[in-house]
Structure 1
Amino acid sequence: MPAYAAFLRAVNVGGTGKLAMADLRALTEGIGARNVQTYIASGNVAFSHDAAPADVQSALEKALHDHAGKPVGVLLRTLAQLDALTAGTPFPDAPGDKVICLLTDAPIPAAPAADATHHTAEDIRPGPGALYIHYPDGQGRSRLRLPAMAEGTARNLNTIRKMRSLLAERS
C-alpha cells in the first residue's frame, strides 16, 4: 500500500484557521487512509492509502473543505518525492531549521529569485516540486516574498526529513 505525506496550507496560521490534529487524523482516516500519524501542529500527516495520489489529494481536500467550510490546500508527496527533496538540498551543511522547502504543485521557476521581493541574505534555489530557501539569519527575521508563497506551503528541512522517516516506516 503506498504511503503519502500530506502538507496542509495555512493551517494554524490564519487563512483557513485552526485545525486540531485529532480532527486531521479523523478526516484522513475518513477517506480510507490507514496508519495515520500527524506530526507537529502545523498540518502534516503521514498515512497509507490504496488510491492514486491525485485521488487521495482530491478526497482529502474535499473532506477538509467540508470540515472547515472553505478550501484548504493539500500538497501530497510520496516517499520517493521526499527522498529526492532531502537528497537534493543545495544547502547540505546548513542547519535544517534554516532551510525551508516551499512545496508547490506549480511549475518551479528556473530563476526563482528574479520574482522575489524584500530579498536580502536569503538564497533561493529550485528543487524537485519545491523551492529551497536558505535563511541564514532565520526565517522569522526575513521579509522575503515569492509568488510561489501564494499557492505553496513551507516546511523546514527538519520537518521534511521527519515526514520522510514516517513514510519510510509505512512503506
Structure 2
Amino acid sequence: MAIKRYAALLRGINVGGNKKVPMARLRTLVEGLGCTDVRTYLQSGNVTFAADADADADAETTSARAIEGALSAEFGFTVDVLVREHAYLKAVLDACPFPAAELQGKQLHVTYFSEQLTAERFAELDPAAYAPEEFRLGDRALYLYAPDGLGTSKLGDRLSRPALTKGLIATSRNWNTVVKLVELTSAP
C-alpha cells in the first residue's frame, strides 16, 4: 500500500464571516473520510493529510469530492475543494517564474485551478496596463506578482473575475502558504 500526502485547498471559507468552518471540525471530517496525519494551516481552508494512493487512480478528484460532500452534510453549504498531491505542490513551487527568494510572501501569489489554463483565456487582457504587476501561467496554476500585495492589486482583481475563471474551480494562496503546504505535505 502506497501512502501519499495531499493538501486540500478550500475556496472561500471563513472570509468576512461567511461559510464558517472551524479547523478542529475540518480535521475531524477529513479523518472521518479515512485520512491520517490530518493537519490544518491557518483559518483560510488548508488541510493536509495522508491517504492510500493505491485506492483510486484519481485520488485528488475523489478526495476533493468526498471533502465537499462531508462539508455540505455538516455545515449545509457548498465549498469548492481542490486536492493536490505533494509532488504537484513542490513542482509548482519549483517552477515559479518570479524571484520568490527576493520577494515578500504578500507580493507573490499562486492561484490553483481545477484544469489547465490556456493563454487564449487571457487574450483580451493587456498586461502592460497593470505594470509593474505581472502574471504567468503554470501547470493548473497562475503566478501573480503584486508588489503592493493582493489587497490593492488591480491585476489580481481582474484575474479573479468570473469571465476569466468561468467553469473552473480557482483558489489563491500567498507565497508563504505555498511554501508551507509543500513543507506540510513532505514525508513525515
TM-score normalised over the length of structure 2: 0.82
User: How far apart in 1 are the matches of 2:94 and 2:87?
Assistant: 10
Q: Which residue of 2 aligns with 1:34?
A: 36
The answer as to 2:2 corresponding to 1:12 is no
Q: 1:104 to 1:15 in 2, by over 3 A?
A: farther
CA contact (8 A) 1:16 1:72 kept: no
Q: Which consecutive aligned stretches of 4+ in structure 1 deviate over 3 angstroms post-superposition?
A: 111-119
Map of 1:120 onto structure 2: 130
How far apart in 1 are the matches of 2:11 and 2:17? 9
- Pair 16,132 (structure 1): closer, same or farther in 2 beyond 3 Å: same
Secondary structure of the corresponding residue to residue 25 of structure 1:
helix
2: CA distance, partners of 1:39 / 1:117 = 35
Residue aligning to 1:131: 142
Q: How many residues align?
A: 170
* Aligned residue in 2 for 1:72: 79
1:48 aligns with 2:50: yes
Residue ranges of structure 2 left out of the alignment (5+ in a row): none
Task: Give the residue type in structure 2 aligned to 1:62.
Answer: G
Contact conserved, 1:5 with 1:167, CA < 8 A, in 2? yes
SS in 2 for 1:165: helix
Question: What amino acid maps onto 1:2 in structure 2?
Answer: K
- Relative to structure 1, the CA distance from residue 159 to residue 23 in structure 2 (aligned partners, 3 Å threshold; closer, same or farther) is same
User: Alignment partner for residue 148 of structure 1, among 162, 165, 176?
Assistant: 165
For residue 97 of structure 1, the aligned residue among 81, 101, 106 is 106
| Whole-Å separation in 1 of the counterparts to 2:124 and 2:187 | 38
Residues 26-77 of structure 1 show CA distances to partners (whole Å, capped at 9, x for unaligned) of 1111111100000011000010011422221221111011122122111111
Name the CA distance, whole Å, in 2 between partners of 1:136 and 1:7: 24
The percentage of aligned residue pairs carrying the same residue is 40
In structure 1, what is the equivalent of residue 184 of structure 2?
Answer: 166
Please state how far the C-alpha of 1:111 moved relative to its aligned partner.
5.5
Question: Which residue does 2:93 correspond to in 1?
Answer: 86
One-letter code of the match for 2:96?
A: T
**Aligned partners of 2:113 and 2:170 also within 8 Å:** yes
Q: Letter of the aligned partner of 2:110 in structure 1?
A: C
TM score, norm. by length of structure 1: 0.89
What amino acid sits opposite 2:39 in the alignment?
Q
The counterpart of 2:69, out of the listed 59, 62, 65, is 62
Secondary structure, aligned partner of 1:66 = helix
Residues 116 and 139, structure 2, Cα contact 8 Å, conserved in 1: no
Greater Rg by CA: 2
For residues 135-156 of structure 1, the C-alpha deviation after alignment (integer angstroms, 9 at most, x for no partner) is: 0111111232222387300001
| C-alpha distance 115-11 of structure 1, shift in aligned 2 (>3 A) | farther
